[in-house]
Amino acid sequence: MLKSCMNKNNTILMALILVCAAGCSSAPSVPTASPTTASEVHPTAIADSISKNVVEGPWSDGGDHGIMVRTPHYNLKLALRDQAFRDRLPDFMETCFVAYASALGPIAIPEAPLEMYIFGERALWEKWTRKKLGRDAEIYIGLGKGGYTTDAVSVLYDIGRFDTQTIAAHEGWHQFSQQALQHPLPTWMEEGIACYMEGTRLSRDSGPSTFRPWRNFERWSELREAVRSDDLIPLADLLNGTPQEFLQDGKNSLLTYYAQVWALVQFLQDGEGGKYSANFSKLIQDSASGKLAGRLAASKAIVGKKGRERAVQLRTGNAVILEYFNPDFATFTEEFNTFVKAITARGAGDRIFRGEFPLKTVEQPAKASAVAPAVAQPSVENKSR
């Protein structure tokens, strides 16, 4: 599948709902990984110093508070109502960028800077969307709060400090992947990684932003609620569906979808003692280098010529599971279901809140060790498109 197909795929994040119900089940027995510390696998980025961020002038479309800021990897148009938040967002996005380019293995970074717009109010966001998208604008305006990404440009508006940074981290992955990956990932994996990247957070003490992929209490709470109410989406249906299809079933179904694809990416990275992690990184590398479609087309794990053709043409289904992770889909499903029950069991929430692997039985390293000194950008070449 060509990269242009990805660029035409318009990605959205619906409204975030924070659910904080308490868990009460006992943890089943599962193989537990011993993931390396966050600073080793997922660089906790102190982004390029603010001296490398250049305020280029006012941004008229953003209203009275609009400014244009150029960072090493972004052209940002910001009109956030909270000036302190606005001033910290450029370094936050640089921290996100480090995670995008390195958390799941090194990815060659786009040569051109990424563009992101964050309006201070919805009315200005709607006005700009109508001006730029014409007849297509109403589709996006009617989607709900937060914003959208289309053709590798994220167009958001302020929905409060926490939710805005979350959607910026999520949509930022979509625009990065649309530029950096030659072959698009399956929809469920693309959305799952975007949720995984929501682990980037601003510090509360004005210190550097940090990336801890397990620190996503909102997704975890939605997952736990689905487990408690026996509303989990069967894995085969999860892989075959899209966010738009689950939205038709209602907001709760959509939130369950996002929670489960978040958990599935965590499973591929840390589940079953980490046995799938290397192949997960290989899949991302194949996507970035344009080898993914060829491998699926030649797969012996995917049954039949039509099955292989469907795997290449569509972004849904279990093809990459069979080819990269486990040709026995029933076994893979059982492993994942056991993992979901384990990470939503009693006591896991405290670890999730701290951004720790919830099944780990030993203490994480001291907090200071999780913050690396200034992190160099990933050692990969710029990718010109």
**Cα–Cα distance between 332 and 163 in angstroms, integer?**
33
pLDDT at 383: 55
pLDDT at 382: 52
Domain boundaries, the chain: 3-377
- 157 alpha carbon, distance to own chain's centre: 18
**Cα–Cα distance between 273 and 35 in angstroms, integer?**
8
Q: What is the pTM of this model?
A: 0.82
pLDDT at 117: 97
- 181 alpha carbon, distance to own chain's centre: 14
- 39 alpha carbon, distance to own chain's centre: 18
pLDDT at 208: 86
Contact 144, 99 (CB under 8 A): no
Q: Where are the alpha helices (DSSP H) in 10-121?
A: 38-41, 83-102
**Cα–Cα distance between 223 and 188 in angstroms, integer?**
15
Per-residue tens of pLDDT for the chain, all 385 residues: 344 444 444 443 333 332 232 333 333 444 444 443 333 334 444 444 344 888 889 999 998 889 999 999 999 999 998 999 999 999 999 999 999 999 999 999 998 999 999 999 999 999 999 999 988 888 888 776 789 998 899 999 999 999 999 999 999 999 999 999 999 999 999 999 999 999 998 888 778 899 999 999 999 999 999 999 999 999 999 999 988 888 888 778 899 999 999 999 999 999 999 999 999 999 999 999 999 999 998 888 888 888 888 878 888 889 999 999 999 999 999 999 999 999 999 999 999 999 999 996 544 444 333 333 333 344 334 554 4
**Cα–Cα distance between 265 and 97 in angstroms, integer?**
18
pLDDT at 250: 78
pLDDT at 268: 97
pLDDT at 131: 92
b/e string for 33-53 if b means 16 or more Cβ within 10 A?
A: bebeebbeebbbbbbbeeeeb
Phi/psi for 330 (5° steps) reads -65, -40
Query: How confident is the model over 44-89, as pLDDT tens digits?
Result: 444 443 448 888 899 999 988 899 999 999 999 999 989 999 999 9
154's enclosing H/E stretch is: strand 153-157
Contact 86, 67 (CB under 8 A): yes
pLDDT at 142: 77
**Cα–Cα distance between 223 and 25 in angstroms, integer?**
13
Contact 163, 146 (CB under 8 A): yes
- 357 alpha carbon, distance to own chain's centre: 17
- List the beta bridge partners of residue 119: 157
